[in-house]
Amino acid sequence: MSLTLLPRRVALLSSIPRIRQFSTVVDDAFSPVSSSGVPPPPTARQGTALRDAVNAKAPRFDWSKEEIREIYNTPLMELAFQSGTLHRRFHSPSAVQMCTLMNIKTGGCSEDCSYCAQSSRYDTGLKATKMSPVDDVLSAARIAKSNGSTRFCMGAAWRDMRGRKTSLKNVRAMVEGIRAMDMEVCVTLGMIDQTQADELKDAGLTAYNHNLDTSREHYPSVITTRTYDERLQTLDHVRKAGLNVCSGGILGLGEKPEDHVGLIYTMANLPAHPESFPVNALVPIKGTPLGDDPTKKRITFDAILRTIATARLVMPATIVRIAAGRTTMSEAEQILCFSAGANAVFTGEKMLTTEAVGWSEDKVMFEKYGLTPMKPFERGAFRGSSWESLKEGVMGGQEASESAVAAA
């Protein structure tokens, strides 16, 4: 009798609409394979900021702090999924920029940045050095290129470039030599004026790094020898010179989640979004105020992922770089960051004063997960689409898949 009933049972099951072959969550308004062709209106729980960000066809520069806060506080699974979706519209999802950082002048800085081993105010055991010879730097860049790095970054522990004409001349020679290798070049030399920014541009510099570190509100508790507005002024000089702006922050400075919102808010409302946004996780250095403070706990991974995802949604065309602190992340955590929109790393022998993930480790990870090094001067090509067209594409793919199964 069971054999007699089987055709009826099959017929009954085949008459049920097949929208999903996997579990459907409640209130799945954003799902690209939901049953309706148009997403339902956002609920009070979701708000509109996330939907506006996901539907972006181009960057916008008028984000409110309230909108960014709403995005940042989205449940993390949903936030990371949506940021990864948007990432694929503006960037190649498998391309990751490999950057190598070299300290060309170590220690002796007069600033009081409470996290930095290179400040002359703290006893960290780090010895100040003179500037590296040009040939040594070019040799290091060649090694970086041979290992797959396409951007070479140089850092010098200076407050600013006043009275450093000889040093600037040497930096120019380094920039020119590295550009001749068909590599991107970035430097961070402290505060610079407009003339110095223009000179670096003439030498062929690709980008200038000058981090804001944290929110305007939290900044005074971290640094007192340089104001927030002085940092913004340097970014303005860099931008006016026609250089790419590289500017991000450090997580784990004793800040609150609202300060992550504040940092992204400042970046998102600049005249142009930074070309790259480094996300650093504090590596505590013994001898520095933050390194010696037992009340300061390391930033948690969920805060790092939440910051990366929010930055991607608010600044969709910007390169989001996993910077200092990557050595504390597991491979799985790094992949979560890439999935949420991070698309650059520092790789090589060392950061400025802390350890870096090595080239060999990154090569293994890239091969395992199908990641590819971003070519020099390559950016994710903008592919114009909307959330509705993305839904249509996924639905079309599902229908094609079902047709293929039926044909088989």
- Residues noted as catalytic: 109, 113, 116, 153, 186, 246, 321
One-letter amino acid for residue 183 of the chain = M
Measured in degrees and rounded to the nearest 5, phi and psi for residue 363 equal -60, -40
Q: Which residues of 99-110 are buried (b: 16+ CB within 10 A; e: fewer)?
A: bbbbbbbbbebe
- The residue with tokens 């600049």 is 270
User: How does DSSP assign 28-94, residue by residue?
Assistant: -TT-TT-SSSSPPPPPTTT-SHHHHHHT-SS--S---HHHHHHHHTS-HHHHHHHHHHHHHHHS-TT
Q: Is-contact 343 320, C-beta < 8 A? A: yes
User: How does DSSP assign 318-371, residue by residue?
Assistant: SEEEE-TTGGGS-HHHHHHHHHHT--EEE-SSB-SSSB---HHHHHHHHHHHT-
Cα-based torsion angle of the residue sequence 104, 204, 381, 251 in order, rounded to the nearest 10 degrees: 30
Residues 6+ apart with CB under 8 A from 397: none
Residues 6+ apart with CB under 8 A from 366: 96, 372, 373
Q: Is-contact 179 185, C-beta < 8 A? A: yes
Residues 6+ apart with CB under 8 A from 81: 30
Cα-based torsion angle of the residue sequence 292, 250, 238, 240 in order, rounded to the nearest 10 degrees: -140
Q: Which residues pair with 344 in a beta bridge?
A: 97, 321
